[in-house]
Structure 1
Amino acid sequence: MSLNSPTETQRLFFALWPEQALQESLARIARQVLGKQGKRVRPENLHLTLVFLGSMTAQQRACAEAVADTIVGSPFTLQLEQIGHWPRPRVVWCAAEETPEPLIELVKQLNQGLTACGYQPETRPYRAHMTLARKVAGRFPTTRVAPLVWQVDHFCLVQSVTHPSGVQYQVLRTWPLVI
């Protein structure tokens, strides 16, 4: 979708986008843990959201991209080793036992910079996770899984488009994390 008028918007977010092999490993874990319960996220849609921006105009998107251009961050390793469940949103997720400091710093820099674009940061503490499934009823105690090691060296601006067949994500731009 191209933005031809100032009133058209795109639904955008910044994210870490894993390689296909990691997406497939996460999808396999979701199948093992959930069986037929809930609505699993399609493997090609698995990602870790940094900042959800929502509906943005072309001007707001340009501002967000300018902020991303200023980010200084280091590559880091993210070790995904926990599967958990949040009963209220009915989400099953995968996360690291400990969030790496460079990831926390990346989110902090984005949030601070995006305030100049009119973005209001989340008031809840940031919880780095990858949603594996939605609409999951019942209880799932947090469990450890064999660690999936992810070498993170970039972040992305992603567009979310809803189709009758489901949500499709499109990576619009990437920025490297360099020392």
Structure 2
Amino acid sequence: MSWSSPLPETQRLFFALWPEVGVREQAARLARRMLGKQGKRVRPENLHLTLVFLGSMTEQQRACAEAVADTIDGPAFTLRLEQIGHWPRPRVVWLAPQETPKPLLELAQQLNQGLAACGYQPEARPYRAHMTLARKVAGYFPAREVAPLVCPVEYFYLMQSVTYPRGVEYQVLRTWPLAP
């Protein structure tokens, strides 16, 4: 009789910006107003901007990713979410800045570069800062400007995605400050 070792436990992880409650509630109201009953809206408590999606990670991989985040030295900045749009292929409606602030691009880049040492393979596509407002939105939804939601960014977060029967919940695992 042979014994096989169990597969290592994993967590579904990502680094993100986690806007304050007021910004998330404003984004949710905007989604309700713009979409009506179209699509499946993201619950306000789950609204975020992904920096790097890590996927399923073991405890060792997570420790490596946290060590990378410990080395990040970026400034705090203000993010203005002022454009709503639609990607028809994944059928996603999003909220994004007109122009991504340089500190945000550098933060995503620093994380991706550092995570390479952990065996992480970054996406080939360039980083596009956005907050997913709704999924499964069919039809044409042209991009347009909206009244800006101003989001001070003073921290970035390691998040875990947990699936429950009632839906997905995102949990903050760790927080890192950005320089004032």
Please indicate the TM-score interval, normalised by the length of the shorter structure.
over 0.9
SS of the aligned residue for 1:139 comes to coil
Superposed structure 1 runs of 4+ greater than 6 Å apart: none
The residue aligned with 1:8 is 9
Residues 51-80 of structure 1: per-residue CA shift (max 9 Å, x gap): 000000000000000000000000011000
Q: Counterpart amino acid of 1:61?
A: R
Instruction: Supply the distance in 1 between the matched residues of 2:57 and 2:147 (Cα, whole angstroms).
Output: 39
State how many pairs are aligned.
175
Identity of aligned residues (%): 77
The residue aligned with 1:150 is 151
| TM-score (norm. length: structure 1) | 0.96
Q: Does 1:128 align with 2:129?
A: yes
Q: CA deviation at 1:6?
A: 7.2
Any conservation in 2 of the 1:6–1:58 contact (CA below 8 Å)?
no
Aligned pairs (5 A) from 1:19-34: 19-34=20-35
Instruction: Supply the distance in 2 between the matched residues of 1:154 and 1:73 (Cα, whole angstroms).
Output: 10
Q: CA deviation at 1:16?
A: 0.1
Select the structure of larger CA radius of gyration: 2
Residues 135-155 of structure 1: per-residue CA shift (max 9 Å, x gap): 000111111111111110110
Q: CA deviation at 1:24?
A: 0.3
Q: What RMSD, in angstroms, separates the aligned Cα atoms of the two structures?
A: 0.9
Q: CA deviation at 1:163?
A: 1.0
Q: CA deviation at 1:28?
A: 0.1
Instruction: Supply the distance in 2 between the matched residues of 1:102 and 1:10 (Cα, whole angstroms).
Output: 28
The residue aligned with 2:3 is none
Q: Counterpart amino acid of 1:46?
A: L
The residue aligned with 1:176 is 177
Q: CA deviation at 1:164?
A: 1.2
Any conservation in 2 of the 1:12–1:158 contact (CA below 8 Å)?
yes
The residue aligned with 1:37 is 38
Instruction: Supply the distance in 2 between the matched residues of 1:175 and 1:6 (Cα, whole angstroms).
Output: 30
Instruction: Supply the distance in 2 between the matched residues of 1:98 and 1:68 (Cα, whole angstroms).
Output: 25
Aligned pairs (5 A) from 1:89-104: 89-104=90-105
Instruction: Supply the distance in 1 between the matched residues of 2:31 and 2:122 (Cα, whole angstroms).
Output: 30
Any conservation in 2 of the 1:6–1:57 contact (CA below 8 Å)?
no
SS of the aligned residue for 2:93 comes to strand
Residues 58-108 of structure 1: per-residue CA shift (max 9 Å, x gap): 000000000000000000110000000000000000000000000000000
The residue aligned with 1:17 is 18
